[in-house]
Amino acid sequence: MAVIARLKGSLIDEMIQHAREEAPNECCGLLASKDGDIIAIHRAKNAEASPYRFSIDAKEQLRIQDEMDEAGTDWAGFYHSHTGSPAVPSPTDIRQMSTFFGPPYVHFVIGIKDPENPEVRVWYIEDGDKIEHEYETID
Ligand SMILES: [Zn+2]
């Protein structure tokens, strides 16, 4: 495992908060970085509105990427939540999103199956396989 993401600690709380608000459906969003550090999250609508899967409408994704351009940030990856299973990318996640989960894009999965003990894990998907890595918080 290597550190593949450095992010503001408050963003962890923001992602968990988003997951809790959308539960039992999955939440999702994009991560924005500046100078290599993830400094903001952009919430997106889960077009599937499902507890088992997520997708982001292509138009919404482009709109968020435009917002990042305007803010002078770069698109660094995604996050989504798992509300009934561990914070591990599912076979569906891997199939649907593999091109966007791989390097350089990082992918956070927020597990809130146990609401009192949220799980936050970061992944790359490479060659159809999921590889767990580490993140570091900064402030
Ligand atoms: Zn998933």
CA dihedral 127, 132, 133, 135 (to 10 degrees): 130
CA of residue 81 to ligand 1 center, whole Å: 7
Give the pLDDT confidence score for residue 40 in this predicted structure.
Answer: 97
CATH number of the domain that residue 113 is part of: 3.40.140.10
Degrees to nearest 5, angle at CA 89 with 113 and 122: 90
CA of residue 9 to ligand 1 center, whole Å: 22
**Average of per-residue pLDDT values in the chain:** 93
Asked if residue 42 lies in contact with residue 29, where contact means CB atoms within 8 angstroms, the answer is yes
| CA–CA gap between residue 40 and residue 42 (Å, rounded) | 7
- Mean of pLDDT values over 79-106: 88
Instruction: Name the residue range of residue 96's domain.
Output: 3-138
- For 91, list phi and psi in degrees, rounded to 5: -55, -35
Which tokens hold the place of 87? 């914070």
Convert the pLDDT of each residue in 6-48 to its tens digit.
999 999 999 999 999 999 999 999 999 999 999 999 999 999 9
CA of residue 82 to ligand 1 center, whole Å: 6
Answer whether residue 84 shows pLDDT above 70: yes
Could you tell me the pTM of the whole model?
0.94
Convert the pLDDT of each residue in 50-69 to its tens digit.
999 999 999 999 999 999 99
Answer whether residue 98 shows pLDDT above 80: no
CA of residue 71 to ligand 1 center, whole Å: 28
Overall domain count for the chain: 1
